[in-house]
Structure 1
Amino acid sequence: MRNKYIKTSNTTRFLAKLAALQDRGAEEACLMVVDGPPGLGKTETVQWWATQQGVVFLRAKQGWTPSWMLRELLGELSTAPLHTFERMYGQTLEALAARSRLSVQEGGQMAVVIDEVDHIARRTDVLETLRDLSDMLEIPFILVGMDRVRSSLTRHRQIGSRVGQFCEFHPLTPEDTAALVSGLSEVSVAGCMLDFLHRSCGGYIRELKEGIKSIERCGRRNSGAVTVAMMAGQVLLNDRTSGRPITVKE
């Protein structure tokens, strides 16, 4: 299977929400929440965008404190942290401002992406620190989490009022599945097998990739595009809910 990022309808939605955030009316409303069930490609999408733009990307940790978070953020900004919270906070403001100026000069975008924000969704002290940094610099902070993170964050009124955009990831469409198979699979896949894969994966990228690997194994043993008949009786992937294997049936 090819190792590359394929744009989907979720990518299009994410980029549109980013554009709307950049054109926001209230300068302080520069938080963005990206949410949805696991397995829909949120992390892969934000990592792809962060790499393209050269923005800061962090994964939240269970037990993060404001100081721990600032140390990791300074590490991503290639700045050795000082020993007190106050000094680290000042360092972070300076380093982010410098990175932002450089991004503007180079015609790029500046943002900080925090993945797995579910770990800190109830940590008021950490969230308030993020809000303060965002307010002071008017730099977008993109908070990525699962489908319950939105309600958790918006319970904090000062945080919820700063969220300029919400971006919810949805299951893959048939067109998304076709694009991903075309871009990732190293063997040809017939339309009937493509339809069966789409129904079986439930719209989740993780399951889709598992199915592509199974299809590729079959394709390497046979000639021509892989069909349902060719894979009949073989395991395609495992069902997310039950954990049971899904067998290809004609």
Structure 2
Amino acid sequence: MKRQFVTTENTLRFLEGFSALEKRGAEEACLMVVDGVPGLGKTSIIEWWAGQTGSVFLRAKKEWKPNWLLSELIEALGQVPRHGFEKRFKQATEILANKHEQFSMDRRPFAVVIDEIDHISNSEKMLETLRDLSDTLELPFIFVGMGKVRTRLTKFPQIASRVGQYVQFQDVSLDDVLAMAKNLCEVPIKRDLIEFLHRASRRKMREIKEGLSSIERFGAINPGKEIGLDEMAGKLLLNDRITGKPILVTADGFGGDNE
């Protein structure tokens, strides 16, 4: 498949949420939470956005401690971390302040993204370190995780009160799959097979990409054909996320309803 980013409805949800965060009334409310069940493309979308804007993208670790977090943050900003928590905190705030000022002057968005925030969402110490950075700089921090993040943050009112925007990713729409098939695949695909894939994938991004790859492989050995249910009947489309069982294409389009 082509290595190309396709804007989806979840992409637009994220962009709208960040735009609203930038227009917030309370400057200290500069945290953003992006959540949703696994498989909706949260990481790929927000990592793409961070790359496009020049923002910082970090993945939280289960064993993260504040000093380790600051070290990775400073390294992501292109500098060598100093020794000691206080020196690293000061170093991180100085670099981020300069970055924030530069991007603001250029009217460009800038934020620090923490993916897999679930790993530290029960740690008051870790969350307070991030809040201290955000408060000090009035700089957007984006927390990306699964649906439990919102509930966990309510245990820390001083953190939850700083969340200016919540964005929840939704199941991938049929229009999204149609756009992906058109822009990513090297072979033409009929709508009936795209609709079957949409159902069979449980509307999850990972499975949709797996299915599109299967269709493209089939198309490569059957050149010149538009691939639909009839052409691919009986062939493997993808593996069911929950049961692990293979899902085969059916000529009548039945059997792809995964709920």
Counterparts of 1:1-250 in structure 2 under 5 Å? 1-222=1-222, 223-250=224-251
Superposed displacement of residue 106, structure 1? 2.5
How far apart, CA to CA, are the structure 2 residues paired with 1:154 and 1:58? 23
How far apart, CA to CA, are the structure 2 residues paired with 1:148 and 1:182? 34
How far apart, CA to CA, are the structure 1 residues paired with 2:154 and 2:112? 19
Superposed displacement of residue 66, structure 1? 0.6
How far apart, CA to CA, are the structure 1 residues paired with 2:92 and 2:125? 16
How far apart, CA to CA, are the structure 1 residues paired with 2:41 and 2:241? 15
TM-score (norm. length: structure 2)? 0.95
How far apart, CA to CA, are the structure 1 residues paired with 2:196 and 2:175? 14
Q: Say which SS state the counterpart of residue 238 (structure 2) adopts.
A: strand
Q: Say which SS state the counterpart of residue 5 (structure 2) adopts.
A: coil
How far apart, CA to CA, are the structure 1 residues paired with 2:220 and 2:111? 43
How far apart, CA to CA, are the structure 2 residues paired with 1:82 and 1:232? 60
Percent sequence identity is 50
Deviations 1:188-214 (A, max 9, x none): 001111111111111111000110111
Give the root-mean-square deviation of aligned CA atoms: 0.9
Deviations 1:26-57 (A, max 9, x none): 11000000001111000001011101100111
How far apart, CA to CA, are the structure 2 residues paired with 1:82 and 1:50? 25
How far apart, CA to CA, are the structure 2 residues paired with 1:38 and 1:15? 20
Q: Say which SS state the counterpart of residue 29 (structure 1) adopts.
A: coil
Q: Say which SS state the counterpart of residue 165 (structure 2) adopts.
A: strand
Match of 2:255 in 1: none
How far apart, CA to CA, are the structure 1 residues paired with 2:29 and 2:247? 45
How far apart, CA to CA, are the structure 2 residues paired with 1:2 and 1:153? 39
How far apart, CA to CA, are the structure 2 residues paired with 1:170 and 1:60? 23
Q: Say which SS state the counterpart of residue 237 (structure 1) adopts.
A: strand
Q: Say which SS state the counterpart of residue 210 (structure 1) adopts.
A: helix
Superposed displacement of residue 94, structure 1? 0.4
Give the letter aligned to residue 203 of structure 2. G
How far apart, CA to CA, are the structure 1 residues paired with 2:136 and 2:189? 52
Superposed displacement of residue 180, structure 1? 1.1
Superposed displacement of residue 112, structure 1? 0.2
Superposed displacement of residue 105, structure 1? 2.6
Q: How many residues align?
A: 250
How far apart, CA to CA, are the structure 1 residues paired with 2:159 and 2:104? 26
Q: Say which SS state the counterpart of residue 25 (structure 1) adopts.
A: coil
Deviations 1:137-194 (A, max 9, x none): 0000000011211211222111111001001011111111111111111100011111
How far apart, CA to CA, are the structure 2 residues paired with 1:35 and 1:248? 32
How far apart, CA to CA, are the structure 1 residues paired with 2:86 and 2:8? 42
Give the letter aligned to residue 68 of structure 1. W
